[in-house]
């Protein structure tokens, strides 16, 4: 009880310092290592037999040799770094700061010899002290990191994986797996088509060969799963890799592509199953950004059907070109909410839950926001559903298009783009026929002098 009362009187910062931050332990370990480094420097300088006249030199210069580096470490905030994540960056900082502190010690020793007539410390001592100190201090920190990264899992309990790709993303995955034993993975090999990497090692993991050997490598290494880590792979490359993974007979997953890794962070929990859009049979089309920017930058834009697959992607792309404002219109309250969360960081974005078939409310929005560019993506799209409800298909698709297009004419919209479908080409179903009627209506407006009114046909849209 007595000790508990004393403990309650200790200020919180001191408790944090002692218990949580471990700064005293770091400070004391550095102090001991610096003293040992300085003593070992004298031993090496004098062949492990320090002359009697140098014992006094050692003792009077020891405090400076130990305390000055410690002062530098405190000034440069060394003791707030986490040794578990000690890296090359911290090593470079240690080399610079410690070398600078030893230089200061040397200058003080020479000054003391000149000004105070004290015995001169041999200059080779400082060279040795710098080299030995760096080895000891850096070794302690790196050793601590290696100890913390040790895997407590027996090898037979971890899932054995090979990673396809031997680039930067794979290096980051291996490093994370080695750091975090809770992932329960063991990387037993890498696959890469670059012959210059074959039989080389990344963090101790060997590059076994090209993608053609995936099935053999899986059998030889008793692999449980294959991870594809080639974010920059083309569709043809992905198809070839997936084909080999399927032949291997084990589960396989992939790291997302650059679009999903916009923040540049490669973490294991982003590994997912291969999706159909990873295997598209064509290269990604390159957008003419200058022409798009001239259409959208500084303009007031409206998108109908904004919470749908096409409409939401339109909104995401439009905001990249800095419009003056973007009004996202959709009757889907849930989809509008999540679209608003995604684009909340952009200035000028606003969503409103409105059924575009409501001509009165749409007229109010046109009058209030005065859009200059309208993308009309609101429509029913599923062919089987529209076959069962042909009247709804026509009333919604054609009716809403007529409402939005007429209002665009009335309020002087500069560009009107109606999102259509390839099913409007010689339509064989109700949905396609209703979209063809929409195209004809927009064509009629365009032929009457509104050249900025047009329709764009989409093929099958992944995720739509």
This prediction has a pTM of 0.49
Asked whether residue 256 is domain-assigned, the answer is yes
Rounded to 5°, the CA angle 446-448-452 comes to 30
Asked whether residue 15 carries a pLDDT value surpassing 50, the answer given is no
Asked whether residue 284 is domain-assigned, the answer is no
Render pLDDT for 136-148 as a digit per residue (tens, 0 to 9): 999 999 988 888 7
Tell me how many domains the chain contains: 3
Residues 420, 312 share a domain: yes
- Domain end, chosen from 279, 314, 340, is at 279
Residues 306, 269 share a domain: no
Asked whether residue 349 is domain-assigned, the answer is yes
Residues 311, 180 share a domain: no
CATH code, domain carrying 260: 3.40.50.720
Residues 227, 139 share a domain: no
Predicted confidence band at 9 (pLDDT cuts at 50, 70, 90)?
very low
Residues 339, 263 share a domain: no
Residues 236, 297 share a domain: no
Task: Check residue 236 and give its pLDDT.
Answer: 84
Residues 177, 296 share a domain: no
Render pLDDT for 359-390 as a digit per residue (tens, 0 to 9): 999 999 999 999 999 999 999 988 999 899 99
Residues 98, 46 share a domain: yes
Which of 18-32, 99-113, 329-343, 387-401 is the least confident region?
18-32
Structural domain range at position 275: 155-279
Residues 142, 79 share a domain: yes
Q: How far does CA 236 lie from the centroid of its chain? A: 25
Residues 301, 223 share a domain: no
Asked if 50 contacts 41 with a C-beta cutoff of 8 angstroms, the reply is: no
Residues 46, 109 share a domain: yes
Asked whether residue 463 is domain-assigned, the answer is no
């Amino acid at each position: 009880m007595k000790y508990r009362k004393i403990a309650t009187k200790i200020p919180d910062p001191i408790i944090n310092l002692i218990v949580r931050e471990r700064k005293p332990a770091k400070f004391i370990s550095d102090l001991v290592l610096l003293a040992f480094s300085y003593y070992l420097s004298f031993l090496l300088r004098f062949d492990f037999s320090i002359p009697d006249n140098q014992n006094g030199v050692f003792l009077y210069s020891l405090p400076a040799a130990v305390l000055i580096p410690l002062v530098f470490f405190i000034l440069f905030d060394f003791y707030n770094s986490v040794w578990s994540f000690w890296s090359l960056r911290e090593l470079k900082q240690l080399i610079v700061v410690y070398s600078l502190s030893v230089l200061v010690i040397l200058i003080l020793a020479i000054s003391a010899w000149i000004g105070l007539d004290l015995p001169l410390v041999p200059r080779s001592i400082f060279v040795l002290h710098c080299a030995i100190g760096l080895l000891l201090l850096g070794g302690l920190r790196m050793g601590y990191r290696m100890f913390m990264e040790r895997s407590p899992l027996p090898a037979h309990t971890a899932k054995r994986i090979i990673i396809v790709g031997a680039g930067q993303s794979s290096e980051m995955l291996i490093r994370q797996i080695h750091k975090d034993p809770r992932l329960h993975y063991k990387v037993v090999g890498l696959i890469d088509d670059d012959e210059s990497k074959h039989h080389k090692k990344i963090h101790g993991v060997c590059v076994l060969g090209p993608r053609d050997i995936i099935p053999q490598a899986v059998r030889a290494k008793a692999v449980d799963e294959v991870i594809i880590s080639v974010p920059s792979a083309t569709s043809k490359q992905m198809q070839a890799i997936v084909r080999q993974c399927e032949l291997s007979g084990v589960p396989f997953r992939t790291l997302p592509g650059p679009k999903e890794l916009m923040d540049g962070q490669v973490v294991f929990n982003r590994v997912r199953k291969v999706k159909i859009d990873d295997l598209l049979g064509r290269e990604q089309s390159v957008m003419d950004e200058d022409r798009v920017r001239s259409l959208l930058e500084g303009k007031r834009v409206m998108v109908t059907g904004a919470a749908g697959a096409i409409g939401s992607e339109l909104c995401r792309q439009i905001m990249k070109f800095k419009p003056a404002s973007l009004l996202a219109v959709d009757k889907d309250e849930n989809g509008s909410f999540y679209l608003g969360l995604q684009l909340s960081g952009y200035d000028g974005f606003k969503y409103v839950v409105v059924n575009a078939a409501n001509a009165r409310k749409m007229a109010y929005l046109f009058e209030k926001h005065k859009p200059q560019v309208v993308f009309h993506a609101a429509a029913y799209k599923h062919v089987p559903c529209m076959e069962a409800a042909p009247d709804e298909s026509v009333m919604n698709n054609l009716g809403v298009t007529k409402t939005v297009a007429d209002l665009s004419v009335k309020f002087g919209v500069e560009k009107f783009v109606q999102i259509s479908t390839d099913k409007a080409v010689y339509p064989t179903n109700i949905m396609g026929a209703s979209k063809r009627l929409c195209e004809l209506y927009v064509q009629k407006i365009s032929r009457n002098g509104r050249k900025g009114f047009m329709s764009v046909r989409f093929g099958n849209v992944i995720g739509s």
